[in-house]
Chain A
């Protein structure tokens, strides 16, 4: 176990280092300039641009900048945002809980829905229900996240008025609510963005789960369970599903990058104050330090996600090697 932990930690560090290096080079090679982000609105004073460049070390050779950045990063200093003049780490930490809540809720919905759909499909393989569910989930999977979000928003929030259009809380009224009221308020605001992210993921999970379930249902231990006279529901849930969950759980780890990428768009549509939107804004304004800090955070989250998925798969099926 200790060897496994060491191996994964080393791999995670290597991943983070690679991501930072590649992002650093790409961000700095991309044309554009942080100080010109508002050039059409404000007078651009060349002296001011030069001063800010010097202050942030942007006037030095790229290799020097890279070495300085790595040196600072190792000491835990990921620099200050150009646009907001605050430590990039503080800005990300402020937003991280929101993205974690959104991604976590989306993951839960996606897995619950994906497994439920797969259970229905696996018990009726080749039927109309199977084909219909495959088609429906595939349709959601093929829909651009941005567009799906807007459709859900217009239908569920604007036309039907069931859920809020955007944001994370109800303005003014949220402050007057009790603890339970506040939680429910956040929950109502969470439904649409989480559902948008989840619907895109559901198809993939359902597809994997359906295949794994069909394999399991054809295996000898399931035949043995049936021969013992167990009810079909018990066979399906207690035996086949438990065995078929392990490969699907690894999908959870692989879903983290997709959820982070999807959150960039979903957070913009629904005004959800998460890391994705912060990262998008940082890229638009060429806020290098914030872009790099977001890349570090994403790499760490992806590495963690994979680690957790491996451990969960091992817990579900001890035959899998760590």
Chain B
């Protein structure tokens, strides 16, 4: 089956599985414990400053105004399901008014009001909170309480992802418990280790370095989750995590690394591997500050000399694919055909010849006494990136280019990439459902920030602006395709691989669906059949 058709089918089947929560599980189906093996510990259980694991926990404890549906359509209002907001309307082109559900309560019994939403916005936006998500809220001018259950979001300008920005980045927090604490001290407050939320689960306990547990809020206003509890068990070693799954000590892992660990997990009769589109994208970024890479044609020639399919097959086996560009299959903008530079070694050689890069006696191309040689930095923590770099070295050598691979400890790698101190680097990005991260990573305004290769193109910026302003998904799709194609044409980077994620989940769990950007987003609908329960499920 072609990969795209497979992905579409997967998403459709996932969407079909979502259905109505209350009608899915039979009577008596409530109960069960999901033990998830995770590689690290949470830092702080406070949504604005939560690390990756802490975010998995806080997203179960604190609700959003609305949630993205499984197809991750960030543009249309139809892509969202009401949660804390019972409904919303666009009062004018720059204002969305949300009506809160009057049934919603904090887990200490206090009603959730518009004041909580206003407080939450101010908390995220305050520089003293030091939230890395703050930048996502830049388009929002203000959040105003209209009455106790009505709140208005005012935007700087009209754009189609207003609803996404207003809902996706904010987990609503309890003002009555937090407003006496200065924002800069919230992260070290007792609340950040023993939070009171309003989501489908309530905080149970946190044993640092060991586990975090949440339990079902049986009185949740949208209906209790079927599972009784979720436990995140810290297992820093990946092989040990898979062993814990095989031994039945853990029930699930978000991402089983390919290919060896997947093969181990595949052999376990009690485990199901659930594939889902990946938010991860990896490849090679050229530093355009370097004179060598300032010219577009050399970058294109190098990109054409790279056989991405072979690299993906060698490193990830069947568990990866060559992406269409600077987007992954998780994002709706990556659906459909996108023009890419072909793998064409003869074409690459002709282009290099035409640029004056001639092969020397040792096979390495030279121009005006300079060898076609550069250094690629890669973090020592990523076996995938190191493996890809080695294969790149071999392929580019055949094209007459020499790359020196410099493995660096992760923080050193981050420092040098942030400072622009590299020729080229092996990057890996975790993308959002929204295509807005194309602006963040490739827009001219982001040079000096997240656009680490310093790619600048007024034409690209214009395309970005046009795509971001399209009113509907149908109208935006061709414009975003043009954005991706422009980036492929200019080749500031070579987008080499995107892993196909596989979550491992014990077979006793039913109604499992996965939203690719947040794999536990639908966990409240998961359940365990009463006749398959283990002692820890009771």
With a cutoff of 8 Å between Cβ atoms, the chain B residues found around residue A278 in the complex are: 209
A27 to chain B, nearest CB (A): 11
B121 to chain A, nearest CB (A): 18
A165, B253: Cα distance in complex, Å: 15
Cβ of A270 within 8 Å of any chain B Cβ, yes or no, is yes
Report the interface size class on chain A: 35 or more
A104, B187: Cα distance in complex, Å: 34
The answer to whether B240 and A281 touch across the interface, beta carbons within 8 angstroms, is: no
A146, B40: Cα distance in complex, Å: 18
Cβ of B307 within 8 Å of any chain A Cβ, yes or no, is no
With a cutoff of 8 Å between Cβ atoms, the chain A residues found around residue B35 in the complex are: 171-172
A42, B249: Cα distance in complex, Å: 32
The answer to whether A173 and B536 touch across the interface, beta carbons within 8 angstroms, is: yes
The answer to whether A269 and B240 touch across the interface, beta carbons within 8 angstroms, is: yes
Query: If A32-B409, A45-B134, A285-B411 touch, does A85 touch B192 (CB 8 Å cutoff)?
Result: yes
Cβ-neighbour of A172 out of B33, B234, B239, B247 (below 8 A):
B33
A99 to chain B, nearest CB (A): 11
B194 to chain A, nearest CB (A): 13
Interface residues of A in 96-130 (CB under 8 A from B): 98
Query: If A36-B415, A158-B247, A274-B209 touch, does A281 touch B40 (CB 8 Å cutoff)?
Result: yes
A35, B190: Cα distance in complex, Å: 23
| Interface mask (B92-133 → A, CB under 8 Å = 1, otherwise 0) | 000000000000000000000000000000000001001011
A21, B84: Cα distance in complex, Å: 52
Q: Is the interface of B mostly helix, strand, loop or mixed?
A: mixed
Report the interface size class on chain B: 35 or more
Cβ of B440 within 8 Å of any chain A Cβ, yes or no, is yes
The answer to whether A171 and B449 touch across the interface, beta carbons within 8 angstroms, is: no
A165, B210: Cα distance in complex, Å: 13
With a cutoff of 8 Å between Cβ atoms, the chain B residues found around residue A37 in the complex are: 410-411, 414
A302, B455: Cα distance in complex, Å: 53
A281, B410: Cα distance in complex, Å: 12
Cβ of B336 within 8 Å of any chain A Cβ, yes or no, is no
With a cutoff of 8 Å between Cβ atoms, the chain A residues found around residue B244 in the complex are: 165-166
Interface residues of A in 2-41 (CB under 8 A from B): 31-33, 36-41
Cβ of B208 within 8 Å of any chain A Cβ, yes or no, is yes
Cβ-neighbour of B243 out of A38, A83, A154, A286 (below 8 A):
A154
Cβ of A168 within 8 Å of any chain B Cβ, yes or no, is yes
Query: Which A residue sits closest to B186, measured CB to CB?
Result: A85
A36, B134: Cα distance in complex, Å: 16
Query: If A84-B43, A167-B233 touch, does A40 touch B449 (CB 8 Å cutoff)?
Result: no
A281, B209: Cα distance in complex, Å: 11
Query: If A171-B536, A271-B235, A281-B40 touch, does A43 touch B132 (CB 8 Å cutoff)?
Result: yes
The answer to whether A153 and B240 touch across the interface, beta carbons within 8 angstroms, is: yes
The answer to whether B237 and A269 touch across the interface, beta carbons within 8 angstroms, is: yes
With a cutoff of 8 Å between Cβ atoms, the chain B residues found around residue A138 in the complex are: none
With a cutoff of 8 Å between Cβ atoms, the chain B residues found around residue A44 in the complex are: 132, 418, 449-450
With a cutoff of 8 Å between Cβ atoms, the chain B residues found around residue A39 in the complex are: 414, 417-418
Cβ of A261 within 8 Å of any chain B Cβ, yes or no, is no
Query: Which B residue sits closest to A270, measured CB to CB?
Result: B240
Cβ of A164 within 8 Å of any chain B Cβ, yes or no, is yes
The answer to whether A271 and B411 touch across the interface, beta carbons within 8 angstroms, is: no
Query: If A44-B450, A48-B130 touch, does A284 touch B411 (CB 8 Å cutoff)?
Result: yes
With a cutoff of 8 Å between Cβ atoms, the chain A residues found around residue B51 in the complex are: 38, 83
Query: Which A residue sits closest to B188, measured CB to CB?
Result: A85
A275 to chain B, nearest CB (A): 10
A284, B240: Cα distance in complex, Å: 20
The answer to whether B229 and A172 touch across the interface, beta carbons within 8 angstroms, is: yes
The answer to whether A167 and B235 touch across the interface, beta carbons within 8 angstroms, is: yes
A157, B239: Cα distance in complex, Å: 13
Cβ of B459 within 8 Å of any chain A Cβ, yes or no, is no
A40, B410: Cα distance in complex, Å: 10
The answer to whether B243 and A158 touch across the interface, beta carbons within 8 angstroms, is: yes
Query: Which B residue sits closest to A94, measured CB to CB?
Result: B208
The answer to whether B246 and A158 touch across the interface, beta carbons within 8 angstroms, is: yes
Query: If A44-B450, A80-B188 touch, does A172 touch B231 (CB 8 Å cutoff)?
Result: yes
Cβ-neighbour of B240 out of A150, A168, A274, A285 (below 8 A):
A150
Cβ of B41 within 8 Å of any chain A Cβ, yes or no, is yes
With a cutoff of 8 Å between Cβ atoms, the chain B residues found around residue A308 in the complex are: none
**Which residue, of A38, A43, A86, has the highest number of chain B Cβ atoms within 10 A?**
A43
14 intermolecular pairs with C-beta atoms under 8 Å apart? A33-B418, A39-B414, A42-B133, A44-B418, A85-B43, A94-B208, A95-B209, A165-B244, A166-B240, A170-B536, A171-B33, A171-B211, A171-B213, A271-B237
B interface with A by C-beta (< 8 Å): 33, 35, 40-41, 43-44, 49, 51-52, 127, 130, 132-136, 187-188, 192, 207-211, 213, 229, 231, 233-237, 239-240, 243-244, 246-247, 249, 409-412, 414-418, 427-430, 440, 448-450, 535-536
15 further A-B pairs in the complex, CB-CB below 8 A; given A37-B411, A95-B209, A171-B231: A33-B415, A33-B418, A39-B418, A43-B135, A43-B440, A48-B127, A94-B208, A150-B237, A166-B235, A166-B244, A167-B211, A172-B231, A269-B240, A271-B237, A278-B209
By Cβ-Cβ distance, the 7 closest A-B pairs, closest first, are: A273-B209, A32-B411, A42-B132, A85-B187, A36-B414, A85-B188, A172-B536
